[in-house]
Chains A and B, each alone.
Chain A
Amino acid sequence: MRLRALKAAFPKTLPVMAGYLFLAVGFGVLLRKSGLGAAWALLMSTGIYAGAMQYVTIDLFLSGAAPLESALMTLMVNARHLFYSISMSEKYRNTGWMKPYLALALTDETYALLAADEVPEGVDSRWYYFFVSLLNHGYWVIGSVLGSQLGQMLPFDLAGIEFAMTALFVVIFVEHWQKKAARIPALVGFVASVLCLILFGPGGFTLLAMPAICGVLLLLRGRLALGQ
């Protein structure tokens, strides 16, 4: 049963593996440049496990931020995780002892994989969720330690590799766009985010875009089909 779930989960995580290895190696390289080695990369990628925020954390180290300032920054950058957990609470209802880990491992990409797709037929959903989460977490940890250890030795220049994250989000957006019921919500999220970015700038626009998106979606309630 577990092996079957692992076999179903692994191919689904391949794009995330590619994206995470890119991004995590980049993180490891930058962290090493800031003076912190592989043990720190391991600690951060295991314990924080939030890609964009870990990059921001390097900025916090360098700018001499206090823990309170770091906590507030995290609240802004990672507020979206509240919504990920809300939206997964139905699917994760009967996951038992795994639930705390599944919740803690709910990154953008893991969420995107598990929220969009149904569990393949004949596969135990609990173990499927578990392996998707664990594999992605593993790629992230391995990539950041690798980046820290090998980054400087690489014979080629990795600048721009972080675009893999954007490309992955665009691809997932296209997937949603092709489902009729998801098209209007996707458009709402996109337009509201563009407007908030123009109005409030890149600093904390997600903090304002989040409630704006929720508000518009709630106003549209009843008009939007709930279907998959």
Chain B
Amino acid sequence: MEARHFSIILAVAVVTAALRLLPFLLFDRKGRSIPPWLFYLSRVLPSAIIGLLVIYSLKSVNLFQPPHGLPELAGVAAAALMHKWKRNTLLSVFSATTCYMILIRLF
């Protein structure tokens, strides 16, 4: 049992490490500078990926079954509004999570 778990952990760790290290190995040596299109991507991607991560973290929400994603919607709205209002990340995250945790117990 332990060997099987260990081999899965090893596989996950090696692939994760490879994904993180590869770009540095490919583009970091002297004389091999980053092509302009890739540099452009690296400037605009951060903002785009955040949009993806929001969706990624909500991907398992089922809109067709009660409560139709309402706790998630309320939590996202709470985070966004709170952040527009106070611009304090910790406060926004805390109030949104609290809001969500209360709602999933009510529905």
Query: B-contacting residues of A (Cβ < 8 Å)?
Result: 14-15, 18-19, 22, 36, 40, 43-44, 47-50, 52-54, 57, 60-61, 65, 67-68, 70-71, 73-75, 78-90, 92-93, 99-100, 103-104, 106, 108, 111-112, 115-116, 159-161, 163-176, 179, 182-183, 185-194, 197, 202, 205-206, 209-210, 213-214, 217-218, 221, 224, 226
Return A58 CB to nearest CB of chain B, in Å. Answer: 10
Closest 9 CB pairs of A and B: A189-B51, A189-B48, A190-B51, A87-B42, A167-B96, A193-B55, A85-B23, A160-B101, A185-B47
Return B62 CB to nearest CB of chain A, in Å. Answer: 10
Contact of A74 among B12, B21, B42 (CB under 8 A): B12
Contact (A202, B59) CB under 8 Å given A86-B23, A161-B101:
yes
Contact (A61, B8) CB under 8 Å given A111-B46, A226-B40:
yes
The closest CB in chain A to the CB of B89 belongs to: A15
Query: A-contacting residues of B (Cβ < 8 Å)?
Result: 5, 7-17, 19-24, 27-28, 34, 37-60, 71-72, 75-76, 78-80, 83-84, 89-90, 92-94, 96-97, 100-101, 104-105
Contact (A80, B52) CB under 8 Å given A159-B101, A167-B79:
yes
> A217 contacts B51, CB within 8 Å?
no
The closest CB in chain B to the CB of A228 belongs to: B43
The closest CB in chain B to the CB of A163 belongs to: B100
Q: How far is the CA of A217 from the CA of B60 in the complex (A)?
A: 27
Is the contact region of chain B dominated by helix, strand, or loop, or is it mixed? helix
Q: How far is the CA of A101 from the CA of B35 in the complex (A)?
A: 25
Contact of A87 among B45, B71, B97 (CB under 8 A): B45
Contact (A164, B8) CB under 8 Å given A86-B23, A190-B55:
no
Q: How far is the CA of A118 from the CA of B65 in the complex (A)?
A: 43
> B48 contacts A185, CB within 8 Å?
yes
Q: How far is the CA of A217 from the CA of B34 in the complex (A)?
A: 17
- Chain A residues lying within 8 Å of B24, measured Cβ to Cβ, are 85, 89, 92, 99-100, 103
- Chain A residues lying within 8 Å of B12, measured Cβ to Cβ, are 48, 50, 53-54, 57, 60, 70-71, 73-74
Q: How far is the CA of A166 from the CA of B84 in the complex (A)?
A: 16
Contact (A75, B19) CB under 8 Å given A80-B49, A83-B49, A99-B24:
yes
Contact of A217 among B48, B54, B58, B84 (CB under 8 A): B48
> Can you add 18 more A-B contacts, CB < 8 Å, to A60-B8, A167-B79, A202-B59?
A15-B90, A50-B12, A53-B16, A71-B12, A71-B14, A78-B16, A82-B22, A86-B45, A89-B34, A92-B24, A116-B46, A159-B101, A172-B50, A173-B50, A173-B80, A185-B44, A188-B51, A190-B54
Contact of B20 among A43, A103, A112, A202 (CB under 8 A): A103
